[in-house]
Chain A
Amino acid sequence: QKEVEQDPGPLSVPEGAIVSLNCTYSNSAFQYFMWYRQYSRKGPELLMYTYSSGNKEDGRFTAQVDKSSKYISLFIRDSQPSDSATYLCAMLSNQGGKLIFGQGTELSVKP
């Protein structure tokens, strides 16, 4: 079983839609959760970082963590064509520093 599972998509939505991206994990040692955005042929860039269960909002982006279910989500409101990218969840263990990424979800927002 992979430590982090993410639906690879691809996901195609119309402009203005609400997008929901999700990851599940199996390792209880993961305590820090991140979402990265990666444009084609570029390196990943940090979008959201959370530690505790609950919601964290930043503009049109909301990150949600449910540690009891080992499930994290990223919501994008009022999606824009410029949001078209691959979104990767990432999780950091509090034991030893292992930082694992999900498979990435390719998102396309159509005008």
Chain B
Amino acid sequence: NAGVTQTPKFRILKIGQSMTLQCTQDMNHNYMYWYRQDPGMGLKLIYYSVGAGITDKGEVPNGYNVSRSTTEDFPLRLELAAPSQTSVYFCASRTGTAGSGANVLTFGAGSRLTVL
């Protein structure tokens, strides 16, 4: 049981390049989230999904896109990377079904992205 797996762990991009951060969970969780964390700051919600085929914007969605074609995968796409997107990105999931652990997030290890 791997939990939430994020790839890559580190990436350096040039301004204007595009890339996809991958996130996979093997816990059959309904809800998945993408957050970014800038140095010394909290986590800001980029996008989230309540199930396959359903996504919604969070607090800072501009410059990003997501899709949720399967329960397991929730990739985050950066189009036309900008220096302001330099950050650590965390993917997280939760089951959302009834039970004591329904609302507890399981986090991936994070992806550190630098845009130069």
Bound complex: CA of A97 vs CA of B110, how far in Å? 21
Bound complex: CA of A33 vs CA of B40, how far in Å? 22
Bound complex: CA of A45 vs CA of B108, how far in Å? 11
- Residues B41 and A97 in contact, CB atoms below 8 Å apart: no
Q: Which of B33, B43, B50, B96 contacts A88 (CB 8 A)?
A: B43
Is B74 an interface position by the 8 A CB rule? no
- Residues A43 and B107 in contact, CB atoms below 8 Å apart: yes
Give the interface residue-count category, chain B. Answer: 20 to 34
* A26 shortest CB reach to chain B, Å: 13
Bound complex: CA of A100 vs CA of B45, how far in Å? 6
Is B58 an interface position by the 8 A CB rule? yes
Q: Which of B41, B50, B103, B105 contacts A96 (CB 8 A)?
A: B50
Interface string of A30-53 (1 = CB under 8 A from B): 001010000000011110010000
Bound complex: CA of A103 vs CA of B43, how far in Å? 7
- Residues A6 and B56 in contact, CB atoms below 8 Å apart: no
- Residues B96 and A99 in contact, CB atoms below 8 Å apart: no
**Complex: chain B residue closest to A33, CB-CB:** B103
Bound complex: CA of A46 vs CA of B94, how far in Å? 12
- Residues A6 and B42 in contact, CB atoms below 8 Å apart: yes
Is B104 an interface position by the 8 A CB rule? yes
Specify which of A92, A99, A100, A103 lies most central, judged by the most chain B CB atoms within 10 Å of its CB. Answer: A99
Bound complex: CA of A98 vs CA of B32, how far in Å? 10
Q: List 13 A-B contacts (CB under 8 A).
A: A3-B59, A8-B40, A34-B104, A46-B105, A90-B105, A96-B50, A97-B31, A98-B56, A98-B58, A99-B103, A100-B59, A103-B41, A104-B43
Residue positions of A touching B, CB distance < 8 A: 3, 6, 8, 32, 34, 43-46, 49, 88, 90, 92, 96-104, 106
Residue positions of B touching A, CB distance < 8 A: 31, 33, 35, 40-45, 48, 50, 56, 58-59, 90, 94, 96, 103-105, 107-110
